[in-house]
Amino acid sequence: MTGNYSAREYRDKLYDDLHVRLSDTVILMCAIFIASIGLNMNSTAVIIGAMLISPLMTPIVGLGFGLAIFDTRLIKQSLNVLLTQVLVSLLVSALYFWISPISYASSELIARTSPTIWDVLIAIAGGIAGVIGSRKKETNNIVPGVAIATALMPPICTAGYGLANGNVQFIYGALYLFLINCVFIMLTNIVGTRILMRKSPLRSFKELNIKMRIGLISLIVLLILPATYSAVTLTIEQARKEGIKQFVGKEFTNHTVISQVYKSNKNELVLTIVGNPLSEEQLETLRQKQASYGIQSVHLKVNQVNQIHNSTKLDSETTKEFYENINKYIDQKLSEKNSQKNIVKENEEDKD
């Protein structure tokens, strides 16, 4: 079709695009800097803006196309550009987070450290759309949309945060997510290109050799299995958290819950409550009700203020934890009260 590049035209276009140019490097550095600020400030809009100007998609698409037509020159060129871009991205993001006064991990950063099977599916769907969109001669928003959906840039910035703060978990999780996106976009480009170029003169070989096929299949399995495990674990944890929330909200309505802590390593829910004392029989009844909320395996531990206060033998660790929870509860209530006062004050000023 005249609206699309032929296989030869597209290969020549990739040859021209895949170079380490100063202008592209500066654009990438700006995009990484903007994305790092967005992750640091928990701003989704800023992160999306950064991904729109990122040039990270081109070498990944080039690598997939090069593997599809077995063009060693294009493969080497794509790998050279991709590795350079990843290295520059890691250095710029690590430098930003090293000098940034905000050192805590925002929810946007944390979200990029636990890849799941859904990330694999998004990368596959994005790769299919990218194969079609990148072949069109006219300007379109498909390739930028794929870059946003598959989120290539935020994981690298998150890895930079891990480098700046010495957090190995962030580095591993973020780079694993980036690898998932890269590999599955590349794989769908290989398959899509082979389908689209059935009658192309560049189709000089019938099948991938056995070593390459084994390597690609092994790579897919190695990426999918951990991601599937992560997805299942995430689903179970989310269901458990929702069950705990409903359980505490409905079964402790007559008490003030000062502290609610779920210790995943012990599968234990620790509550610190104020109100009418609960007997062992009542606590046992509550534990039996856990099954109806889907949290029957969670060990329930209830610290009652009255019992702690009246006890003559106090465990030092329990006492310390109790008073810390009391202080947190007081601080939280004072903060809520101050926020309400500020809202009232602003409303009064608006009326004036």
Helix, strand or coil for residue 199? coil
pLDDT at 13: 83
**Domain spanning 7-206, CATH class:** mainly alpha
- Nearest CA to 146 among 173, 158, 128, 119? 128
pLDDT at 185: 82
Q: What is the mean pLDDT of residues 172-177?
A: 87
In tens, the pLDDT along 253-289 reads 888 888 788 887 888 888 888 878 888 888 899 999 9
Instruction: For the chain, give every domain's residue range.
Output: 7-206, 239-351
Q: What is the mean pLDDT of residues 233-262?
A: 84
pLDDT at 314: 46
How far CA 20 is from CA of 51, 59, 61, 243, in Å, comes to: 19, 11, 16, 52
Residue 233, both tokens: 């674990």
Element (H, E) at 134: helix 117-134
pLDDT at 87: 94
End-to-end CA distance of the chain: 66
- Residue 83: band (very low, low, confident or very high) from pLDDT cuts 50, 70, 90: very high
Higher-confidence position of 216 and 288: 288
Q: DSSP of 226-277, one letter per residue?
A: HHHHHHHHHHHHHHHHHHHHHHHHHHTTTSEEEEEEEETTTTEEEEEEESSP
Residue 248, both tokens: 């505490």
Summary mean pLDDT of the chain: 77
Sign of the CA dihedral running 342, 343, 344, 348: positive
Contact predicate 136/159, CB 8 Å: no
343 pLDDT more than 50: no
- Residue 234: band (very low, low, confident or very high) from pLDDT cuts 50, 70, 90: low
Partners of 263 in beta bridges: 268
Query: What does CATH list as the number for 239-351?
Result: 3.30.300
Q: Sheet holding 268-274: strands in order across?
A: 256-263, 268-274, 299-304
- Residue 306: band (very low, low, confident or very high) from pLDDT cuts 50, 70, 90: low
